[in-house]
Amino acid sequence: MSFNNLDTLYRQVIMDHYKNPRNRGSIEGNPMTVDMNNPTCGDRIQLQLLVDDGIVKDAKFDGEGCSISLSSASMMTQAVKGKPVDEALKMSELFSDLMQGKDIDEEDIDLGDIEALQGVSKFPARIKCATLAWKAMEKGVEEEKED
Amino acid sequence: MDVKAVRDEFPILHQEVNGHPLVYLDSSATSQKPIRVIEKLDEYYRGYNSNVHRGVHTLGTKATDEYEGAREKVRRFINASSTQEVIFTRGTTTAINTVAASYGRANLSEGDEVVITPMEHHSNIIPWQQIVKETGATLKYIPLQPDGTIRLEDVKETVTSNTKIVAVMHVSNVLGTVNPVKEIAQIAHDQGAVMLVDGAQSAPHMKIDVQDLNADFYAFSGHKMCGPTGIGVLYGKKALLEKMEPVEFGGEMIDFVNLYDSTWKELPWKFEGGTPIIAGAVGLGAAIDFLTDIGLEEIMEHENKLAAYAMQEMNKVDGMTIYGPENRAGLITFNLSDVHPHDLATVLDSEGIAVRAGHHCAQPLMRWLEVSATARASFYLYNTEEEIDRLVAGLKTTKEYFGDVF
């Protein structure tokens, strides 16, 4: 049986992040906490961010969801950790473009593992799974900015 | 029942999805439509589209006859004693909201209780949450047994003389439980409460007799029973409906309109403010004819067979968890090992098999089951054992595909 079509969605690196999530857990101290869910399917994420001096010092997540939403959260925390807030937001924008199937300028910012999620754009029903963690991150840093 | 002949009436079923013949197992979300319903809508819009109850012209009369004819079909379908007891709504949600906003607002106050169950669909939870907040009444839940059934002792324990409304689903859209609504209605009545039955998952699949159930209100949706979306029914006992205030005000529902005061039309029209859902009602009438021609008993027998076969075959798949009681309506909610239902549904979809994944608009029930999401395969008159074999093969494929991961 051929799984070619599915393989564009479930790339090995995605399954690796799903099986061995990076940055899963919570941050001690007083991090910014964002709870977000996808009410249509029940996916739920709690994202914690430690932002200091305009830099995302730490990012951790917890929650429940499918392989796409949890691997995306794992990759997102990995990607934004240590980055300036503006760059994190720029990555989020790029990710959104990636999900909409737009061509992205890869020289601009290195998305690393995240590019493996490109295949999700061919599965419209699953795009929301992939963007949940990024939406939480955007909300978190925007609230941080307002404070 | 000749399933092949039934399938021939559903054009949508004869297509390929992702390179495979479609297996549609999501009828509890919405059913497919037979050609005669589609043609009826076409005929209405091409032939006699017109507003009802007001035109003197020929098209208006024809549209009114068809609209009111559909009401009579609904009356017979659920054995209501009069068409005055049959109100067309947008669906089950609107029907329940109407009862909560009208009967609830007028009859609830502090100290009163509304009793529901944890297995209810959100549409039979939230209207009650809202109205008890507004009136100061209390919302109470009949506890569930571990297999997802309700015991009448627990109903008797929960429903008290302070209870004014008991609202229970006839068939669970998740567990497939068929609830003893007739017996629950009796308990409600003994305590002086009224009984609302959410019939969204029962009216499409079994013979309904609202007089035999002795339900005070019975709500259901057209789109789950081969009819169009956007049409549903609120049945209510005439004596109750007569005392209830409308919740939507405007055209069509009035008798006299003065500058500062107005009076309402008689039943059922006082509850149908605005231009009604004419095409939807006409389409629902055609759907009722279709189901009645085949026979609800035959449909239920077919679905019971499918459910029993699916239980037997699905239980053979390693890592299968099925939720709900052994005796059930034609749907199976399940999880497969640690594969998330979304991932499972995506793999099945790649095989042309449509199932539902998520919380099925029953978040309290998901928490009771201690899962965040489940997958559901639901059956209707057009499904076959071969399709269940395809589902089971698809589940094995899913296991195989994710086998390395888990």
H helix or E strand, kind and range, residue B379? none
H helix or E strand, kind and range, residue A45? strand A43-52
**Alpha-carbon gap: A141 to the closest alpha carbon of chain B (Å):** 27
Q: Which residues contact B84 (CB under 8 A, 6 or more apart)?
A: B238, B241, B266, B267, B268
Is residue B14 within 8 angstroms of chain A, CB to CB? Answer: no
Q: Which residues of B touch A129 (CB under 8 A)?
A: 342
With 90 as the cut, is the pLDDT of residue B402 above it?
no
How would you label B170-200 residue by residue, b for 16+ Cβ within 10 Å and e otherwise? bbbbbbbbbbbbeebbebbeebebbbbbbbb
Same domain? For B286 and B370 the reply is no
Nearest CA to B378 out of B122, B92, B174, B231 is that of: B174
Task: Look up the CATH number of the domain holding residue B95.
Answer: 3.40.640.10
φ, ψ of residue B169 in degrees (nearest 5):
-75, 145
**Strongest mean pLDDT among A41-55, A92-106, B294-308:** B294-308
Same domain? For B306 and B343 the reply is yes
pLDDT at position A147 is: 66
With 90 as the cut, is the pLDDT of residue B299 above it?
yes
Nearest CA to B341 out of B328, B327, B360 is that of: B360
Q: Tell me whether residues A40 and B341 touch, CB distance under 8 A.
A: no
| Domain ranges, residue B320 | 3-30+296-402
Same domain? For B19 and B66 the reply is no
Rg (CA), chain A: 15
pTM: 0.93
Please count the residue pairs, one from chain A and one from chain B, whose beta carbons lie less than 8 angstroms apart.
54
The answer to whether B286 and B37 are in contact (CB under 8 A) is yes
Same domain? For B175 and B256 the reply is yes
ipTM of the complex: 0.84
With 80 as the cut, is the pLDDT of residue B53 above it?
yes
Share above pLDDT 90 across residues of chain B, in percent, rounded to a whole number: 95
pLDDT at position B6 is: 98
pLDDT 10s digits, B214-270? 999 999 999 999 999 999 999 999 999 999 999 999 999 999 999 999 999 999 999
Q: Which residues contact B112 (CB under 8 A, 6 or more apart)?
A: B135, B137, B138, B162, B163, B164
- What whole-number distance in Å separates Cα of residue B322 and Cα of residue B25? 16
| A81-95, B68-82, B99-113, range with the lowest pLDDT | A81-95
Taking CA atoms, what residue in B is nearest to A19? B405
Number of domains chain B is built from: 2
Name the pLDDT band for B107 (thresholds 50, 70, 90): very high
φ, ψ of residue B337 in degrees (nearest 5):
45, -135
Is residue B343 within 8 angstroms of chain A, CB to CB? Answer: yes
Q: To the nearest 5 percent, what fractions of chain B are helix, strand and coil?
A: 45, 15, 40
Q: Which residues of A touch B372 (CB under 8 A)?
A: 42-44, 64-65
Domain residue extents for chain A: 4-146
pLDDT 10s digits, B243-259? 999 999 999 999 999 99
Q: Tell me whether residues A41 and B404 touch, CB distance under 8 A.
A: no
pLDDT 10s digits, B351-380? 999 999 998 899 999 999 999 899 999 999
H helix or E strand, kind and range, residue A52? strand A43-52
Active site residue B226: no
pLDDT at position B400 is: 87
pLDDT 10s digits, B150-165? 999 999 999 999 999 9
Same domain? For B20 and B87 the reply is no
Same domain? For B184 and B301 the reply is no
Share above pLDDT 70 across residues of chain A, in percent, rounded to a whole number: 94
pLDDT at position A1 is: 46
Same domain? For B239 and B373 the reply is no
- What whole-number distance in Å separates Cα of residue B402 and Cα of residue B406? 7
Is residue B404 within 8 angstroms of chain A, CB to CB? Answer: yes
Q: Which residues of A touch B363 (CB under 8 A)?
A: 42
Same domain? For B270 and B394 the reply is no
pLDDT at position A2 is: 55
Name the pLDDT band for A12 (thresholds 50, 70, 90): confident
Q: Which of B229, B258, B293 is the last residue of a domain?
A: B293
Least CB–CB distance from B366: residue in A42, A65, A126: A42
pLDDT at position A113 is: 86
* Marked catalytic residue, from B361, B369, B392, B395: B361
Q: Which site among A6, A44, A62 would you substitute to test the B interface, given the most B Cβ atoms closer than 10 Å to its Cβ?
A: A6
**Alpha-carbon gap: B406 to the closest alpha carbon of chain A (Å):** 8
pLDDT 10s digits, A17-74? 998 999 999 999 889 999 999 877 778 999 999 999 999 999 999 999 999 999 999 9
Q: Which of B246, B264, B293 is the last residue of a domain?
A: B293
Question: What is the third-level CATH fold of A4-146?
Answer: Sufe protein. Chain: A (3.90.1010)
**Alpha-carbon gap: B66 to the closest alpha carbon of chain A (Å):** 37
Taking CA atoms, what residue in A is nearest to B349? A6
- What whole-number distance in Å separates Cα of residue B285 and Cα of residue B268? 17
